[in-house]
Amino acid sequence: MIGFLLGQAALLVLLAGAVLLAGAPAARHLPGGSRAGRLGVTLATGLLAWGTALGALGTAGALRPLPMAALCALFALTGGAALRRREVRQALGLARPEGGAGLAPALRLGWVFVPLFLLALYPPLAFDETLYHLPTVEAFARSGGLPFLATLRVPVFPHLAEVLQVPLFLAGGDVATHLLPLLATAVTALVVFAWARETSSASAGELAAALFLSAPIVVALATTGYVEAMLTLFVTAALYALDRWRREGSAAGPGAGAAGWLLLAAAFAGGAAGLKYLGLFWLAVAGLGALVLGRPAARLRIGFLFGAVAAFVALPWYARIVAHTGNPLFPFLAGLFGHTLWDHQPLPAASLGERLVDLLRIPWDTLFARHRTGLQPPFSPALALALPAVALGALRHRPTRALALLVVAWAAVWVWLPRDARFLTIALPLASVAVAWALAGPLTELLVERLGARLGRAAFALLCLGALATGPLYAGYRFWKLGPLPHDAAGREALLARELTGYEAVAHLDRIAREGEVAFLCGEERLAYHFLGGDLVGDHTGPAAFDRLRLAPDAATLAARLAALGAGYVVRVPAACPWPLVESGGAAGLLERIHADAEAEVYRVLPAAAGPSG
């Protein structure tokens, strides 16, 4: 256990160091701001630089250890040269300036990441993580390129987060990929802290970071392989950099000394679009914000600069998608770009009135009626309780009003999307900063007035701790639910068998199948990632769609369809895969059952005469 923990901790330190080195050159071009803000933005820049460079390697088919090591050496040279300058280290809080406070205030909440680090070391269990995120990472690592993965529900996507996970996957296995969202969440908290502190007070910074980290859903996304933690970081960093550009003199135009903030805002917005299609909304928001905040005479240059930088980051991912599919938003908008085997089911129709009700119900649904928001972990009750204060603060304070309007605008977009609370978390940092702006000052003044300066500050710190508590408490609940942290193969197998329906059947297939063999999986599609010996294919869409084989009219047709997949085995989870032909014995001459347990069955495909291909 000690060796396992130390190994993963060392990987986390190496990841943070590599990211810092990659982003350090940018720190020389960031005037103003706090050390916490510049450090947070520098780390976000490093993640973006690594992701963009790894994407280029993957496009060239060179996403392999030696080219990645060369890339690391390049970043070490450029970043090391920047960090040798004392003014850069001081700007980032890595060298304490005379009379300065360093980064100590920003680290008071750092203890929260100890339970989060431990929670991140559990084997991957989250649905989309095992359905297509990790299979994509594994395929990239195997091939050294960025192939079109036809048997996945999402064969091609903006994959900036996945290429960032490839080095971690190669170095420490699938568990190590969780270190990326963990680092992204820590950097987001640092940026949130800096944003509220710079524009209000030290107490506002601590309250904003505490509120962000208090949401159980933030804890869940920080410790699993979803991309929302990275997306949240890039959106937050883009808007923070845009606000810093405004405060440092956006009226002077893009050629002024604050232009570094504008360029980073564009890069982060492009990075958000390179992570997920939802990032396109925030790219548009940041671009419009740059135009509105800039000097009218300079808007043409601002728009050109912003667009060029954002396109440099995001366009390669969309060019790849178009090259494979002809649809820049594949697999969506099939009616416009053409239908494929991967079409998604349209969302249920709803009236404008119903969507308005859904919008107003979001605080309740994300806390108590989570069946309406994808059964994701809840949001922070402290944020929900603070909504009236934000509404009042928005009437008096223009920046609070701007952030509150952005949060409401994103919520209004969300009610037209699949109802998954993960997508709402992108706006949680903005909501946390808005609440801190509205509440920190009045609360601090009230407590100091009633209790005195020292006791008042201590009471405010206790309030922050109370607001924060729901995040660590949720982590404790997850520890209790999952049981002891597995640190070896036996512990991992026991946990997966306990948590994944049908896992024992897949483990049996692993023991008997030869390397590279293909099996068809019917039901419980996220099991596919856990078949180590070859390819386990099967999903609701694509060439291995469940219904395409499950509803085959006869054994000859089924044999032809299995042969087209190259499948020598079938894994079936009966509770999730009713199969009339198999249950009636109609496939007895084609499928031989070789394993059965309480949850699943394994069949060997027998030689059979090929029938119509169907």
Q: At a CB cut-off of 8 Å and minimum separation 6, what does 75 contact?
A: 18, 21, 22, 46, 49, 50
Average pLDDT over residues 370-384: 93
Lowest mean pLDDT of 103-107, 512-516, 534-538, 578-582, name the range. Answer: 103-107
Domain boundary among 270, 304, 338: 338
Does 343 reside within a domain?
A: no
pLDDT for position 611: 47
Give the pLDDT band of residue 114 (cuts 50, 70, 90). Answer: very high
Is the predicted pLDDT of residue 328 greater than 60, yes or no?
Answer: yes
Residues 390 and 419 in one domain: yes
Q: Domain containing 440: what range?
A: 198-226+348-487
Dist. CA 287–CA 238, nearest whole Å: 10
Lookup: tokens for 481: 């639910």
The closest of 191, 169, 189, 190 to 180, measured between CA atoms, is: 169
* 113 occurs within a structural domain: no
pLDDT of 99 strictly over 60: no
Q: Is residue 614 part of a domain?
A: no
User: In angstroms, rounded to a whole number, what is the distance separating the alpha carbons of residues 363 and 339?
Assistant: 37
413 with 334, same domain: the answer is no
Question: How confident is the prediction for the chain on average, in pLDDT?
Answer: 91
Considering the domain architecture, whether residues 170 and 64 belong to the same structural domain is answered as yes
Is residue 97 over pLDDT 70?
no
Q: What's the pLDDT band for 337 if we cut at 50, 70, 90?
A: very high
Tens digits of residue pLDDT in 248-277? 875 455 555 678 999 999 999 999 999 999
* pLDDT value of residue 516: 82
Last residue within a domain, chosen from 440, 457, 487:
487
Task: Tell me the pLDDT tens digit for each residue of 464-482.
Answer: 889 999 999 999 999 999 9
Both 422 and 530 in a single domain? Answer: no
| pLDDT over 90, % of the chain | 74
Helix axes 35-59, 179-199, angle to 10 degrees: 140
Structural tokens at position 348: 């249920």
Same-domain status, 429 and 480: yes
- Look at residue 104 in the predicted model and tell me its pLDDT: 59
Give the 3-state secondary structure percentages of the chain, helix then strand then coil, rounded to 5: 70, 5, 30
State the DSSP string of 311-355.
Answer: HHHHHHHHHHHHHHHS-TTTTS-HHHH---TTPPPPPPP--HHHH
Average pLDDT for 85-90: 84
Q: Would 352 be classed as within a structural domain?
A: yes
Contact present, 221 and 229 (Cβ < 8 Å): yes
Q: How many CA atoms lie within 13 A of 292 on its CB side?
A: 9
Burial label for 527, CB within 10 Å (0-12, 13-18, 19+), is buried
Q: Residues 55-81: pLDDT tens digits?
A: 999 999 999 999 999 999 999 999 999
User: CA–CA separation, 158 vs 164, rounded Å?
Assistant: 12
Q: Could you tell me if residue 543 is inside a domain?
A: yes
Q: Which pLDDT tens digit goes with each residue over 406-426?
A: 999 999 999 999 989 999 999
Q: What is the DSSP letter of 131?
A: I
Angle between helices 428-451 and 398-414 (to 10 degrees): 140
The pLDDT value given to residue 98: 47
The pLDDT, as a whole number, for residue 284 is: 98
Q: What is the pLDDT of residue 73?
A: 97
- 3-state SS of 369-414 is CHHHHCCCCCCCHHHHHCHHHHHHHHHHCHHHHHHHHHHHHHHHHH
- Please tell me the predicted confidence (pLDDT) of residue 107: 65
The reply to whether 381 and 271 lie within a common domain is no
- In this predicted structure, what is the pLDDT of residue 250? 57
Q: Is 536 in the same domain as 504?
A: yes
What per-residue confidence (pLDDT) applies to 254? 54
Query: Are 221 and 250 in a shared domain?
Result: no
Same domain, 240 and 222: no
Tell me which residue of 18, 459, 440 sits closest to 193, measured CA to CA: 440
Alpha-carbon span 203 to 180, nearest angstrom: 29
Number of domains within the chain:
4
Q: Among candidates 149, 3, 137, 27, which has minimal Cα distance to 82?
A: 27
pLDDT digits (tens, 9 = 90+) for 130-184: 999 999 999 999 999 999 999 899 999 999 999 999 999 999 999 999 999 999 9
pLDDT average, residue stretch 382-398: 89
pLDDT at 168: 97
pLDDT, tens digit, 9 for 90 and up, residues 562-612: 999 999 999 999 999 999 999 999 988 899 999 999 999 999 999 854 444
Q: pTM, whole model, 2 decimals?
A: 0.94
Q: How confident is the model at residue 226 (pLDDT cuts 50, 70, 90)?
A: very high
Q: What would the two tokens of residue 560 be?
A: 């032809």
Q: Are residues 360 and 432 in the same domain?
A: yes
Amino acid occupying residue 405: L
Work out the average pLDDT over 392-398: 88
Give the pLDDT confidence score for residue 66 in this predicted structure.
Answer: 97
The highest-confidence range among 86-95, 341-350, 477-486, by mean pLDDT, is: 477-486
Query: Residue 116 domain-assigned?
Result: no
Is the pLDDT higher at 176 or at 27? Answer: 176
- Give a yes or no: residue 442 inside a domain: yes
358 and 458 fall within a common domain: yes
32: pLDDT strictly greater than 90: no
Do 202 and 241 lie in one domain? The reply is: no
Output the pLDDT for position 424: 97
The residue among 291, 314, 338 that closes a domain is 338
Question: Domain for residue 191, yes or no?
Answer: no
Q: Which residues contact 69 (CB under 8 A, 6 or more apart)?
A: none
